[in-house]
A = this chain, B = another copy of it.
């Protein structure tokens, strides 16, 4: 074990992971950024945001993983150009078309490899309860089960905590916590579509706008359209 308290944070460039970075720092961890380009439509924009945030917090390290396999495997509107990004239906119980099969297991596995090679004591991920309504790999049970894999599947001397601090929170709770931590949300990107400005109508934009509204704040980024439920 190293004396330094280091943590890998899975930084997508979105608001949840940006908040997780500030959470890890607030808990005394030196941040190691892991950003992944896996062929998602918005990868250039997300990379720029993750990179800007790393500079902002003076990250100890920044690992950019580019891998084509999730997009090659397909079956998600996030990576498959033949599938359309659908407009939001936050009330639906179905797995959204944006689900990338078992994506978070791939991302967490990468993060644990990176953490083990760098003597990091934790891996943070910003998944939250409004994700797991639709995505099976964002649930508390997923993270609990994965912790067990880490415990048995790494070297005996390796101890890495998989931390999903917001797994039982709403996105509104995250926005509230992030505003408290002064997260620079102007450096983040959440939209599933690849045009600027953010569309304001996909699942991700809708959730984000609602979270800021509920937290009594205004999202600092620009939108093509702010849906009518938004009071600002």
Contacts and interface: CB of A to CB of B under 8 A. Distances in A.
A146 interface: yes
- Residue among A101, A112, A114, A150 with most chain B CB within 10 A: A101
Question: How many protomers of this protein does the assembly include?
Answer: 2
Interface in A41-72: 63, 65-70, 72
A154 interface: yes
B153 A73 contact: no
A109 B100 CA distance: 12
A106 B109 contact: yes
B152 A145 contact: yes
A105 to B, nearest CB: 4
Interface stretch (A17-25, A136-144, A169-177, A206-214): A136-144
Interface string A100-117: 111111101110111011
B112 A109 contact: no
B149 A105 contact: yes
A73 B105 contact: no
A117 to B, nearest CB: 4
A100 B100 CA distance: 26
B117 A109 contact: no
A137 to B, nearest CB: 4
A155 B106 contact: no
Nearest to A114: B73
A223 interface: no
A99 B117 CA distance: 11
A118 to B, nearest CB: 8
A75 interface: yes
A95 interface: yes
A105 B112 contact: yes
Interface string A14-44: 0000000000000000000000000000000
A101 B154 contact: yes
A-B complex: 5 closest residue pairs judged by Cβ atoms: A101-B116, A75-B117, A137-B153, A105-B109, A65-B69
10 contacts: A63-B72, A73-B117, A100-B113, A101-B154, A103-B113, A106-B113, A136-B154, A145-B152, A146-B149, A148-B148
